Each structure stands twice: as C-alpha cells, then as structure tokens.
Amino acid sequence: MKAKARAHANIALIKYWGKEDEELSIPNNSSLSLTLEAFYTETEVEFSELISEDEFYLDNRKDDITLLKVSKFLDLFRDRLNIKTRAIVKSINYVPTAAGLASSASAFAALAAAANKASGLNLNDKALSTFARKGSGSATRSIYGGIVEWQKGDSDQTSYAIEIDDANWDIGMVVVLVNSNEKKISSTKAMKQTVLTSPYYPSWVKDSEKDLIDIKAAIKDRDIRKIGEISERNALKMHATMLAAKPPIMYFEPNSILVIQIVQQLREKGIAAYFTMDAGPNVKILCKLSDANTIKEDLLKSFDKKDIIVTKVGPKVQII
C-alpha cells in the first residue's frame, strides 16, 4: 500500500491554452512537449487504514492548502477501486514551484504513478495519463519521456498523451530563472479569461493545430531550426492571445525580454537557439545540447550562474 514515483517536468513546444471541458480538463487544442531531465518531483503515497484524513507534505512541510487538490485527485483512484482508505502523501519538488516551470506537471504525474502503484489499480501508461490530466493539464504529458504529444481527444478516455520520439539526439534546453516566485495569475484562471474574452482565441486554436502538424514533420527530420522556429512563434501566439484578453494577461518581465534579445543575438551569430515561455516570466531556450554551454556562457554576462540551468531530455515516470 506504499509506493514512490519520480516524474519529470515538461515544457510545451506547442502550447495547450484553454479548456473545452473544465471538469475533465479536456483542452481545446492538442499540444507537444519535451520532457526535461533537470526538473522533477518525487512523491510517496501510503494508503493506511490507521488514519481518517489524508495528509500532504510538500518539501517536508505539511501543506493543508494543496491537500484539497491532492485528496480530490486520490478520490479518482478510490472511486475506481471502491475504497475509502486515506493516504499520507509526501512530495519533494526539484522544480521552483509555480514559476511557469510546469511544477504541477511533474507533481501530478508523480502523484498519479505513486497512487497507481500503492493502490494496486495498475493502470497502463495511457490510462495513467488520462488520470494525471485531471490533476493538471500539462501533467498528462509528464507520464512520458522524450517528445510527447497530448492528443486533445473529445472525452475522458480519448484525451491522453503518447511519446512520439525518444529525443535521443542532439536536443536540449537552457532554462533561465527570471523570477521563481509564485505566478501572479494561475494558468487555470488565465486560460478561462483568455477563452472568454480574447478576440484572437479562435485563431490561436486553429493555428496551433497547424503548428502541431508542421513541428511533427520537423521532428521527423530532426531539423532543430525548424522545430525552434515553429515553437518560438507558437509561444508568441499564445502570449499575444493572452495580451488581448480583458483584463490583459502578461507574464513577461523586463528580464524575460532581455533573455529573448540575447537569444536573437545568438541566432545572428549562427547558433540555433529559440525561446519559449509559459505562464510565468522564466524563459526556456531550445537548442542543440552540444550548443547549450556556449549559450550559457553568453547568458552569464547578464544572469547569475544559479539561475541558468542546462538540461537534456528526461525519461518517463518511474517507480523508485
């Protein structure tokens, strides 16, 4: 009745932004991501007849606020098994929480895998990704390593992720931590506001489906420049859509723009570097892994060493 799992964060190259079904967390568009080795969550779940309430500890501290979400998530397993047993959940995040680094992705993927094992439900990866989805949309993709596509589907069972490439080639990311504080507006709230008020939202959905087709062709060719161009523009389109919401949603900070300018200069020097940003000010640079240290050197002129993280592609969720 006890198991521990490790899941890695992922960064979307084709973003998911906006839900078709809030309750089931079914998105309006399919998305595609790269799983990262450097950022992950380890979570232990122990079901016990000796306790009458769930307990949740994040980074060794009791966290009664997140507990509500954790309990609701564990109910998915309890309902399926028709049990009432409560659980003690201990989670360690090796990701700056809620800073647009997809901590919720690794968190819910690890929780799903640990609960799956501890409860004995033994779902396969595909079904596990539908469970993770209900914790956090991007967690759907963190069940897998490499390059992952989340096919939007149109029901609980058909909205899941699959690995489309092991990414065992020269590809990586440089992550620049601009600000690791909690984000100002949660992705859930920001998405809703965008869907309801941005005049550009329908174009976002339409364009992202085309971006997905194009990026999959570029991935097949291992064409890092094409992959980078498509993902950079996809991120800008997502942010442009949010900027047009009412009230507007803006995750850029001055230092985010500084990183973007450095990336553009690197490209003028012939280095294949492309930026992407999520629901936070941090910037992730997609590049050849073999160029990552050159890119880091350049960033060191403006940023602290501890705020620049080079990472290769990460593996799928594991029981540890």
Q: Of these, 3, 9, 16, 55, which contacts ligand PMV (CB under 6 A)?
A: 16
Compute the C-alpha angle 237/243/244, nearest 5°: 95
Q: Is 207 in the site for ligand PMV (CB under 6 A)?
A: no
**What gap in Å lies between CA 36 and CA 101, rounded to an integer?**
10
Using an 8 Å Cβ cutoff, are 203 and 240 in contact?
Answer: no
Q: Tell me: does residue 129 bind ligand PMV (CB under 6 A).
A: no
Which of 119/241 has CB closer to ligand PMV?
241
- Check binding of 256 to ligand PMV (CB under 6 A): no
Quick check: 134 binds ligand PMV (CB under 6 A)? no
- Binding flag, residue 138, ligand PMV (CB under 6 A): yes
Q: Which stretch binds ligand PMV (CB under 6 A): 47-55, 56-64, 70-78, 100-108?
A: 100-108
**CB 277, min distance to ligand PMV, A:** 8
Residue 187 touches ligand PMV, criterion: CB under 6 A: yes
Q: Rule CB under 6 A: choose which of 103, 136, 142, 208 binds ligand PMV.
A: 136
User: Which of residues 278, 295, 299, 313 is near ligand PMV by CB under 6 A?
Assistant: 278
- What's the rounded Cα separation, in Å, for the pair 117 and 121? 7
41 touching ligand PMV, by CB under 6 A: no
Per CB under 6 A, the segment of 9-17, 41-49, 81-89, 109-117 that binds ligand PMV is 9-17
Residue selected from 5, 7, 9, 12 as contacting ligand PMV according to rule CB under 6 A: 12
User: Which residue, 102 or 112, has its beta carbon nearer to ligand PMV?
Assistant: 102
Q: Is 279 in the site for ligand PMV (CB under 6 A)?
A: yes
Q: State how far the Cα of 224 lies from the Cα of 114, in Å rounded to an integer.
A: 35
Q: Give the binding-site size for ligand PMV (rule: CB under 6 A).
A: 14
SS (H, E, C) the chain: CEEEEEEEEEEEEECCCCEEECCCCEECCCEEEEEEEEEEEEEEEEEECCCCCCEEEECCEECHHHHHHHHHHHHHHHHHHCCCCEEEEEEEEECCCCCCCCHHHHHHHHHHHHHHHHHCCCCCHHHHHHHHHHHCHHHHHHHCCCEEEEECCCCCCCCEEEEEECCCCCCEEEEECCCCCCCCCCHHHHHHHHHHHCCCHHHHHHHHHHHHHHHHHHHHCCCHHHHHHHHHHHHHHHHHHHHCCCCCCCCCCHHHHHHHHHHHHHHHCCCCEEEEECCCCCEEEEECHHHHHHHHHHHCCCCCHHHEEEECECCCCEEC
Write the binding mask 214 to 253 for ligand PMV: x where contact by CB under 6 A, - elsewhere: ----------------------------------------
Q: Which residues contact 247 (CB under 8 A, 6 or more apart)?
A: 193
Window of 42-50, 88-96, 135-143, 294-302 that interacts with ligand PMV by CB under 6 A: 135-143
Our CB check for ligand PMV shows the closer of 102 and 177 to be 102
- Residue 159 interacting with ligand PMV (CB under 6 A): no
Residue list 49-88, contact with ligand PMV (CB under 6 A): none
Give yes or no for residue 137 binding ligand PMV (CB under 6 A): yes
**Positions in the binding site for ligand PMV (CB under 6 A):** 12, 15-16, 31, 102, 104-105, 136-138, 187-188, 278-279
